[in-house]
Amino acid sequence: MADAKAPVQPKGATGVLVLADGSVIWGHGFGAEGVALGEVCFNTAMTGYQEVMSDPSYAGQIITFTFPHIGNVGANDDDIESPNPHALGCVVREPVTPAANFRSQRRFDDWMKKWGRIGISGVDTRALTKRIRTGGAPNGVIAHNKAGQFNIKQLLSQARGWPGLEGMDLASVISATQNYGWDDGLWTLQGGYGSHSGNPNGPHVVAIDYGMKHNILRNLVAAGARVTVVPATATFDEIMALKPAGIFLSNGPGDPAATGVHAVPTIQKILNAGLPLFGICLGHQLLGLAVGAKTLKMTQGHRGANHPVKRLSDGRVEITSMNHGFAVDTDTLPPTARPTHISLFDGTLAGLELTDRPAFSVQYHPEASPGPQDSQYLFQKFVSALEPVA
C-alpha cells in the first residue's frame, strides 16, 4: 500500500514529507538537514510564523502553513514566544525568499537552520490541509537532505512506529527547571520589551510553566502583576511558600490527560485553598481535569489566528488565536463548572468558570502572538481581582 502512493522522486527534490498512511510528498528542503518525526497539523494564521514556530505547545508537531508566503518578512530576536523553535519543522507552499522587512535580522531559513529545524517548500499545502481536515492530523516524518538522498522505506517505518501525541506528557519535558522572575511587558515599536518593567508592588502571580508562551507573561506584567514562573513539577507547598495572590496555569504541548497525572493533584490543592486561578489552553484543559471533566483528542484541532468564539454571558464574539488538538468534553463538566465561551466553528468548549471557586480558563490564546487582541481583557480581569501586596 505504501509504495502505491509514492510518486517517483522528482529531479532536484531535497525535502520530503512521509505520512504514516504511506503518502510521500516531495519538496525542497530548507533550514537544517536531517529527519524529524511528529504529528502533522496545519495553522491558518497569515502572519506570525516565528511566534508559531517558537510556541512551546507545538513540541512534537510539524506545521503545515496554509498561508503560501512563509518567511517573506525574515526572522528577528523579538518575535519569539520562547528562546528557540519548538515545532519540529514546517511545510510551506512557496520557497523562502530574502527577508523584506525593516525588523528582520536574518532570513527565516537561516533562523530555522540555526535552531536545527527542518522546512520543506514547494508542497501543495492546500491539498495537504484538506486531507488533514477530513482525515485528522497524521503522524509523519519530515526530512531534508541537500544531496536528495532519502530512504523512503525507513522514513515510512519511522512514521508508522511513532506512537502519536495521545498519552504523551511533553509539558514535563520542556518546562523550566527552576523558578524565575519575569518583568518584560508588551512590545512597542519605540522601546521593544525593554522600556517596561514589572510592578514590584503588584499582586504576586505564580505562573506554572507547562510550556509557557512569553506573551502570556508580558500580558500579566502589563496588567500590573508581579510574576514568578515555577516548573511544572513545583509542589503545592513550594508554590504556597512564594505567597501567591493568584495562580496561572500555562499553555503547553502534548496530551493534557498525560500531564494531568502529575499536575491535577497540585491544581486541586490550589483550588481547595481558594486561590484565584486563571488557565490558558493546556492550563484550561488541566483545570477541567482537576474538577473531574474529561479531555478528548480532536480530529483536526484548531490552529490559526481568526477563530471566532462566543462569550455566553452577553453573546459578544471574540476573534481569537488558537492552537490546540485536545479539548475539554463539555458533556463531562460537573455542575460547578460553567461554560463561558464556545467555538463558533464547531461548538467545542472554549472557556469555563467554576461557580464555587475563583477560577476560570480559556481554550484559546488571549495573548495572541500571533493573532487578534479581542480577549486581552482577560488578563486585566484576572489581575485586577487579586489582592495587592500588603
Q: What are the catalytic residues?
A: 281, 365, 367
Q: In angstroms, rounded to a whole number, what is the distance separating the alpha carbons of residues 292 and 203?
A: 29
Residues in binding contact with ligand GLN, number by CB under 6 A = 12
**Annotated binding-site residue? 326:** yes
C-alpha dist (Å) from residue 369 to 42, 296, 297, 317, 376: 17, 25, 24, 19, 11
Of 72 and 373, the one with the shorter C-beta distance to ligand GLN is: 373
Q: Is 260 in the site for ligand GLN (CB under 6 A)?
A: no
Asked if 246 and 203 touch (Cβ cutoff 8 Å), the reply is yes
| Cell of residue 49, nine digits | 510564523
Q: Is 185 in the site for ligand GLN (CB under 6 A)?
A: no
Q: Is 282 in the site for ligand GLN (CB under 6 A)?
A: yes
Task: Give the helix/strand (H/E) hosting 285.
Answer: helix 282-290
Between residue 18 and residue 77, which ones bind ligand GLN under the rule CB under 6 A?
57
Of 74 and 256, the one with the shorter C-beta distance to ligand GLN is: 256
Of 26 and 326, the one with the shorter C-beta distance to ligand GLN is: 326
Region of residue 255 (left: phi > 0; alpha: psi -120 to 50; beta: else): beta
Q: Is 223 in the site for ligand GLN (CB under 6 A)?
A: no
**Annotated binding-site residue? 88:** no
Asked if 359 and 327 touch (Cβ cutoff 8 Å), the reply is no
| Cell of residue 270, nine digits | 490550589
Of 302 and 310, the one with the shorter C-beta distance to ligand GLN is: 302
**Which of these segments, 142-150, 187-195, 318-326, 378-386, binds ligand GLN (CB under 6 A)?**
318-326
Please give the residue ranges that form the binding site for ligand GLN (CB under 6 A): 57, 251-254, 256, 281-282, 323-326
Binding-site residues for L-glutamine: 57, 252, 254, 282, 285, 323, 325-326
Binding-site residues: 57, 252, 254, 282, 285, 323, 325-326
